[in-house]
Structures are given as C-alpha cells and as structure tokens.
Amino acid sequence: MKNQSGTNVNFATFDIEEWYAANYNSLNLNNLPQHPGHLQKNVGRLLELCEKFSIKATHFVVGDIALNKPEIVKMIHQAGHEVASHSYAHKLIFTMTPEQFREDLRKSCDLIEQITGEKVAGFRAPSWSVKEDMLSWFYQILHEQGISYSSSVFPGKTFLYGIPGFPENIHQPLVNGIKQPVWEIPQPLFSFFGKRFGFSGGFYLRALPVWFVKRMIKIKNKQGKSVFTYLHPREIDPQSPRLKLPLLERFIHYHGVNGCEVKFEKLLKKFNCSFIRMDDFIKSLNPA
C-alpha cells in the first residue's frame, strides 16, 4: 500500500522477547541453563541500525519484559519507536480460552502503557498462533482492549501455524460475514510449486538470499502491497545462549544467525525511505 503522497509503505518490526521464548512442542523450559542472555545489548543494536537509516519501527514487546526489564521499553520509546504488545507470557493464543487471552492481553498492555504513557495500538500473536476458528473472539477482545490493529496471521499453512486462504492484504477481516473493528496486517508470502512461504523475517529471512528478499519486496510493492520485516533480538547475536532442540527445530531456530545482521542492514539501507510505524499507517486509514 502507499501513503497519501503515493510512496510505497513498508514496516520494520521487531519481536522483543528473551532468547528462550519459543513454542515448540518438544521444548521444556523447566530445564533452561541459567543464562541472563543479551537482550538489552541486542535491542540497543537494533535501535542503532534504525537510527543509522532514519527509520521508525514497531516493536512488539512481551509483557514480562516490560515487567522485569522496563529499561528496555524505555529505550525503545525514547528513540521514537512504537511499542506494541506481543502478549504477556509468549504463550500460543490457540491454547488459551477467550478469558485467558483477555487477561494476558490486558496485563501486557497495562505494563507497557505504564512505562510509555501511551495507549498500545498493536498486537502480534506469539508464533503466529491465531487459527481460523478463534477469529471471532480474537478480534473482539483486541477491540475491547482498544487495539486498532493486529499483525498476527500467516495466510498459509505450515506444520506450526497458519490460516490457508486468509487474505494477504491489509484489511478489516470478515468473520461470519461481519467486518471486524480491528485491522489485520498479515505476513506477506510467495508461492513456490503450490506451496506458500514467508520471506521477510525470522527463519525465512535468515535462510533466503538477500537479493531474493529485496526482489520479493519490490514485487509486492509493485502489486500495491506493503511488506513488514521482522526480527527477534537473538537473531543478530551468534553468541546468544541456545536452546536444546531436535534437529529440525534447531535448524529453524538458528540457521543463518551468523549473517543475519548484515543481511538485515542491507534491507534497511535499500528500503529505509518506505519504512514507517504500523500505528502511524493505521491512523491514516479511513475505516468504511
């Protein structure tokens, strides 16, 4: 999508969470090594990269970070970036009842708002954990909390997440024929031999060559679609402590970490003029 001046709009986003925040079935967080991690240092580096290219980004912050490390939220906010919610405890949304999700969301937003003094506008579900059968209560609860947009849906299907057939454009979803009061900014995908894949963040960004990611962003923008990049702080830190995971999950979680920061910096340099905060873009829209 484009802004009022006709310029393509994209978004740089970050999921601010601890190095051990993951939702694999095989993972037992009760046996974690006692390591504090490098979260503050890594967030600081992300802020430096944004400053270098004059970018204002959206940071989806887990609520327990706001509780235990409020100085990180203050760093992000004082640098002029948006602070949005990434849940309170990084639990999969589809494992919660509506009441549990409502409380989890409220806790995360309350903590962030106490630090920033600003209303939280956006939400991203941990691990894209929104399923089709929960869309009606998911968007209604976001609306109750005053959330104006979500960036939580993978509009395809993997063994971990996704809603096949979900529209890829930024829109107010139709659920049971009713337009929802919250905007959705879904993850952009590309098709390959009938399968749909991400390209702009996380494992996809780490695994794909940077020339291909640049090309896909250009194609999506030419089609009138906005793209968001997304990274976790641990993905630019080869020295981060690591989880003990089975082979496939270890590959998904850590492949390409060594070159990720350089690759991401190239994207920021190429598209820096198009990146804006998600909340600023949603404010510019006129709901029907």
Two structure tokens written together for 191: 């098709």
Query: What pLDDT shows up at residue 36?
Result: 81
Question: Per residue in 81-126, pLDDT tens?
Answer: 999 999 999 999 999 999 999 999 999 999 999 999 999 999 999 9
> What local confidence, expressed as pLDDT, does residue 11 receive?
98
pLDDT tier at 8 (50, 70, 90 boundaries)? confident
- Closest to 132 in 3D by CA, of 82, 62, 206, 184: 184
User: Who contacts 203 (Cβ-Cβ below 8 Å, separation ≥6)?
Assistant: 252, 253, 255, 256
* pLDDT for 5 beyond 70: no
Domain segments of the chain as ranges? 11-23+37-284
Residue 281 identity (one-letter amino acid): F
* pTM higher than 0.85: yes
Domain 11-23+37-284, what fold? Answer: TIM Barrel (3.20.20)
User: Which amino acid would we find at residue 205?
Assistant: L
Q: CB neighbours of 184 closer than 8 A, spacing ≥ 6?
A: 139, 149, 150, 151, 152, 153, 170, 171, 172, 173
Tokens of residue 65, six digits? 């970070």
